[in-house]
Structure 1
Amino acid sequence: MRESTDLDAYLAGATVDDDVFAVRPDYRVLLVAVAGLTPGPGDAASEALLARAETSVAGPADELEHVAAWREAYRAFGAKPTRTRNSLEALVRRAPAGLPRVNRLTDVYNAISVLHRVPVGGEDLDRYDGPPRLVRAQGDEVFDTVADGEPVLEHPEPGEVVWRDGVGVTCRRWNWRQGRRTALTDDTTATIFIFDALAPMTDDALRAAADDLVAHLGALDARRRLIGR
């Protein structure tokens, strides 16, 4: 199991490029590194949290201020938000018909995303190569994903905002689609959770979402770092 000092050092190496802040100067990210997690499939607690998240959605996704802010951010780097929706909007749209059931860790962070109206990503820390970096893509980076049910390697478009590690892209279009290589599984015990925020979401609201996630995971060892301009 990773030690607390390892998590602190890991988070200290995380970066957001100035080119990303040029797109949205109001952008902030709260990184939460967690070790000692109990992995496995969904359970009664994660199911109850998902159900609460589903019933929390009372109106259309496009009426949410944070969804509108992310649509503007996508347009700013050349993405079409009606074709590639940010993760928050995608989940809110699915909520009335039922959120996906994946595994315990993924189900919990998806539910927290909907309940707190913030994009959240989760990556397997033991499959990550070095600290996370948010950059504007060159276009030759590798993204390990699935298309038509088959594993494929894709490349982001030049200028696209992507999360990456030392191997390649881990999440395309800021918070649109996560890769296969670092996805959380039934065996994941250490993770990096990524909370993406734009105005009007406040830092206090961002921290409250992280508090809720850590509480529902029952995490004994969680370290955080807030990065902004």
Structure 2
Amino acid sequence: MFETPIVSESIREIAPDFRGLSIHVDATGTSVDELDPNILADAYKLVLDGGPSWAEAHLASWAEVYSRFGAKPSRTPCSAQALRKRVLKDGRIPAINPVVDLYNAISLRYALPVGGENYDAYVGCPRLTIADGSEIFDTVMNGEAVIEHPAAGEVVWRDDMGVTCRRWNWRQGTRTRMDAAAGRMWFILESLGTMPREALAEAGETFVDGLQRLMPGAAIETQQVSFTRE
């Protein structure tokens, strides 16, 4: 059974127009096909042509939200902005694995942050909340495993063990990183009010279609994520 992700009511003050789409996948026992290279190529072309039409406004909204909780978006941009900058600079991004490449293509095509996690590594359900600064975050620095702590007041995704993604969707931790497309996976598509509501729904449908093509037979659950009183 998958647990419903929690978005703390405290996030409403920072991003009252936040909308999330949660997608759980159980690919246990299924094989993973190759990703159609045209999926990434088409996403690159759209970005290089200036699309989608809401990209500039949506990414500017994310920068404003980051500033509200004390992050510097020019230094630590949201994941969608970081991907877009790499494509605008280099024309493409390095391939990782079919599932990661697929959700990166969705992020680029729809100008929204998309995260992918190894759900089997979670302890308790994913929660979007405000850190108090005592939480642990496992990462890598100069090739060595290190433990960091988020700043007090920082927006983070976390579980019962610690932080899984810092500064909302800026940097993923190593413990729940999806190194292989196998077992149970969790994805979160995150938008703000400057992205059309129907575009978020379309992004989810396009992503699910891609997942079904990559992993025929995988069980997929999709649900809207809303604010919750913890």
TM-score (norm 1): 0.88
| More moved, 154-163 vs 194-203 | 194-203
| More moved, 78-87 vs 62-71 | 62-71
Q: Structure 1: which amino acid aligns with 2:65?
A: A
| Structure 1 residues 136 and 39: CA distance shift in structure 2, 3 A | farther
Select which of 123, 131, 139 maps to 1:129: 123
Contact 1:104 1:186 in 2 (8 A): no
Q: Map residues 1-229 of structure 1 onto 2, 5 A cutoff.
A: 6-7=1-2, 10-11=3-4, 14-36=5-27, 38=30, 43-45=34-36, 47-57=37-47, 58-59=49-50, 64-96=56-88, 97=90, 98-218=92-212, 220-229=218-227
Ranges in structure 2 where 5+ consecutive residues have no aligned partner: none
| Structure 1 residues 63 and 124: CA distance shift in structure 2, 3 A | closer
CA offset at residue 167 of structure 1? Answer: 0.8
Looking at structure 2, the residues matched to 137 and 100 of structure 1 have their Cα atoms a distance apart, in angstroms, of 32
- Percent identity between the two aligned chains: 41
| Structure 1 residues 217 and 60: CA distance shift in structure 2, 3 A | closer
CA offset at residue 202 of structure 1? Answer: 3.1
Contact 2:20 2:190 in 1 (8 A): yes
CA-atom RMSD, angstroms?
2.1
Looking at structure 1, the residues matched to 31 and 67 of structure 2 have their Cα atoms a distance apart, in angstroms, of 37
| Structure 1 residues 33 and 187: CA distance shift in structure 2, 3 A | closer
| More moved, 118-127 vs 144-153 | 144-153
Moved over 4 A (4+): 37-40, 60-63
Residues 119-139 of structure 1, C-alpha deviations (whole Å, 9 max, x = no match): 100001111111110010010
Query: Any idea what SS the aligned residue of 1:64 has?
Result: helix
Query: Any idea what SS the aligned residue of 2:128 has?
Result: strand
| More moved, 82-91 vs 199-208 | 199-208
Looking at structure 2, the residues matched to 74 and 228 of structure 1 have their Cα atoms a distance apart, in angstroms, of 19
Looking at structure 2, the residues matched to 105 and 60 of structure 1 have their Cα atoms a distance apart, in angstroms, of 23
Contact 1:39 1:105 in 2 (8 A): no
Query: Any idea what SS the aligned residue of 1:207 has?
Result: helix
| Structure 1 residues 60 and 109: CA distance shift in structure 2, 3 A | closer
TM-score (norm 2): 0.88
Q: Structure 2: which amino acid aligns with 1:213?
A: F
Q: Structure 1: which amino acid aligns with 2:220?
A: A
